[in-house]
Structure 1
């Protein structure tokens, strides 16, 4: 038990220390964006299950690969909060509150949304590429997937969880998230699973760009006077929101 507790402190210690204070002091007031996201997802879930609301939600937030790209991009901001009709909504709401909430405290609301949209767009753009490649390619998708609605909030949750794990040194957790998505595709090969993997690739590329940008700034002398190299196992200091 002591070894497990020691591992947990090593794995999640930095993340826990960052999140604990604001949540104890402010509770849900510390995560207004996450709470808003939960409320919006709940509202859209209710509306799309009503005869009067289904078509409306489809028109403003349902993204399919068969849609024109401009229309898909126009719908993307709301597609992030449209849960799948065939899955329990409570699971999606809990994931959004926990993962978005932790990220909002650690990274700030705008960084959290940026990562969420990078993950979502990676899945959306991959679906178009996969269908163009066809089922004969390892990265391809059947033409029927062009009519399937994109994953909604799940790709964003996966991407944010992966980024947090990397950013705060919880590498085992980040690896477990990536491995679980790979297993999902292996067990049930569908559009959602492959979009989750695309989201991981998109967020990994974002993380690489962040590291490259920091190195360039340091190389050309843009580091603030008196600043030191980052703390923690990630080699990067915690982001203050």
Structure 2
């Protein structure tokens, strides 16, 4: 096996084995693709555009409770200025892998954590204003319609990379998002970075909790062994 092949096996082998071991039709992902396709078709109809906007369009200028109500559906509303096949491909690939490997519940939890992080960052960025370096956003960003699966896809990709030790792949995703912001510091790019930060916090908490549980189990095992020896 050549060097590239060995690297690929090391990088993606654990993920590939997880997919093979747990393979099943990703029903939630298929439903998400169908939902996105239907919403794309409806929002391009004369009567459907406003309906989709009322149900799934999120803006930083909206009341927070309304934005939170719309956030779940907003993930599946494709951006009108981008080709819908891109959103469908992202959902099918990344959501599909995540659902097979993590289960649909954890997949949705990570996806909505990433999406919500982007939504809340937009509000915070507008509140900070353009004079605050890196984090601030202009007032015009409050009117931008914030929909689509991209933040969730980025978050899930980073989470999968951590979970299955594809660290180079995860690093490439993070670097690409940072470069995106450096080249074009728009709302979407900064929301992607916010999604990565949120998933990073989630990963950190899981790592910390895993160590705590491991330490407790180890301590319990040592105590039990000492008790048996004492008898």
Please tell me whether the aligned partners of residues 76 and 147 of structure 2 are also in contact (alpha carbons under 8 angstroms).
no
Please tell me whether the aligned partners of residues 217 and 223 of structure 1 are also in contact (alpha carbons under 8 angstroms).
no
1:1-45 per-position Cα deviation (integer Å, ceiling 9, x unaligned) = 81111100000000011113444xx4xxx2001111100011111
Query: How far apart in 1 are the matches of 2:30 and 2:131?
Result: 43
Task: Tell me the residue number matched to 2:188.
Answer: 192
Counting only pairs closer than 5 Å after superposition, residues 1-241 of structure 1 correspond to structure 2 as 2-23=2-23, 26=24, 30-138=25-133, 139-221=135-217
Query: How far apart in 1 are the matches of 2:16 and 2:204?
Result: 24
Please tell me whether the aligned partners of residues 151 and 195 of structure 1 are also in contact (alpha carbons under 8 angstroms).
no
Alpha-carbon offset, residue 151 of structure 1: 4.1
**TM-score normalised according to structure 2 size:** 0.91
1:116-160 per-position Cα deviation (integer Å, ceiling 9, x unaligned) = 000000000100110111001121000000000124200000000
1:200-235 per-position Cα deviation (integer Å, ceiling 9, x unaligned) = 00011111111112222223339998xxxxxxxxxx
Please tell me whether the aligned partners of residues 58 and 70 of structure 2 are also in contact (alpha carbons under 8 angstroms).
yes
Secondary structure of the corresponding residue to residue 156 of structure 2: helix
Task: Tell me the residue number matched to 1:228.
Answer: none
Secondary structure of the corresponding residue to residue 122 of structure 1: helix
RMSD between aligned residues = 1.7
Q: Which moved more, 1:105-114 or 1:12-21?
A: 12-21
Query: How far apart in 2 are the matches of 1:223 and 1:49?
Result: 61
Q: Give unpaired runs (5+ residues) of structure 1.
A: 226-241
Query: How far apart in 2 are the matches of 1:59 and 1:223?
Result: 54
| More helix per residue | 2
Query: How far apart in 1 are the matches of 2:41 and 2:219?
Result: 49
**TM-score normalised according to structure 1 size:** 0.88
1:50-107 per-position Cα deviation (integer Å, ceiling 9, x unaligned) = 1111001001100100000000001111011111100000011011001000000110
Query: How far apart in 2 are the matches of 1:212 and 1:88?
Result: 40
Going from structure 1 to structure 2, the CA distance change for 1:184 and 1:56 (only over 3 Å counts) comes to: same
Q: Give unpaired runs (5+ residues) of structure 2.
A: 222-231
Question: How many residues matched?
Answer: 220
Q: Quick check: which has more Rg, 1 or 2? A: 2
